[in-house]
Chain A
Amino acid sequence: MSNSIHVYDARADHATVNAESPLAYSFQSSGMPAPGEEGRAVVGERAFLGHLILRGGAIVLDEALREVLGIGLPGRPNSLTVDADGQRSVQWLSPDEWLLIVPGDETFGLETRLRAHLGGSHVAIVDVSAGQTLIELTGEAAHEVLMKSTVYDVDPHEFTVGKGVTTIFAKTSVILRRPDESRWELIVRRSFADYVYRWLLDAGEEYGIGVARESRHEPQ
């Protein structure tokens, strides 16, 4: 069965194609208020990352991932493993499902190597990079903006570093996670990205929220 799977590089060649992030239109239509001196929250998009959904048994996927990427699956539900330089992460989504996020230009190579390593194992790997985007929230009031938006307990003492959940956010759902002390990440569906962005601008207004222009992982 495995040799009938068509694997191809779905990433646009940014030299020849003018790819737009899911928030490109929102930045134009809703504006990008600059982070101010007094601002206590900053929002930003980390676009064009590689998002892979891994499904299958934990043992076989964990072994393949350690071999290929050097990090293992998180051992506990609702948790997140991040590699040493913070560029690659894998998050528990359900007992047989994990979300792997890597720099965009590594996606295809990683998928290919994972498939080669997994051979005929009963697993699924799906590249969902084009279907979702990652929104980063930083600043001392970041968790206060989240408290206004989600039913999940985002008290920094409860929602510790390394935790990640799928939960309700405003009237949609997001994957919410905390890769380190200073950052919260929201992974949102492409079609809800504009809604979430505008919600964040509105909810963050009282904290002087600003929008960071992306400096990392910019496509060439």
Chain B
Amino acid sequence: MFHIYCPYCEELREEEEFHPKGQAHIARPEEPDACSDEEWGDYLFFRDNPRGIHHEMWLHAVGCRKFFNITRNTVSYEILETYKMGEQPTVGAEHLAREEKTSSVQAAEGGQQTVGASDAALASVKGAQA
């Protein structure tokens, strides 16, 4: 069972109740008529596909039926926070930088865990799911 915290229902709910809805915080150009084709095309069709921290919209489809935002690590699939529409994320790319630093330190001290090994493990997990 995999649970996601809905900021409107204020509780953890089963993942099956949710749908991902793509990148969050995309602002519609204030004056569409004044946009170049490239700007408008960017707004309509082009989305980020980062390796690491990504801010996404999700829908609590079988539940309160509200959209909300998730900050997610696209490498580990870890959900770092969920927050309501209109709010800003508190976790950004610097979070990941901090984590990598910590794991390098652990690797140096323990000699077991390395960043490269965890990446390989993640790749095999991804392969198994594909």
Contacts and interface: CB of A to CB of B under 8 A. Distances in A.
Specify whether A and B are partners: yes
Interface of A: 76-78, 93-95, 151-152, 165-168, 173
B62 A152 contact: no
Nearest to B1: A151
A95 B64 contact: yes
Interface string B56-88: 000000111110000000000000000000000
12 contacts: A76-B10, A77-B8, A77-B9, A77-B11, A77-B64, A78-B9, A78-B10, A166-B63, A166-B64, A167-B13, A168-B14, A168-B62
B11 A151 contact: no
A193 B97 CA distance: 52
Contact of B10 (A77, A151, A167): A77
A93 B62 CA distance: 11
A78 B17 contact: no
Contacts of B39: none
Contacts of B119: none
B17 A94 contact: no
Contacts, number: 39
Interface residues on B, range: 10 to 19
Contact of B17 (A76, A95, A151): A151
Given A78-B9, A151-B16, A165 B66 contact: no
Contacts of A165: 9, 63
A78 B11 contact: yes
Nearest to A169: B62
Given A77-B64, A95-B66, A167 B9 contact: no
Nearest to A96: B66
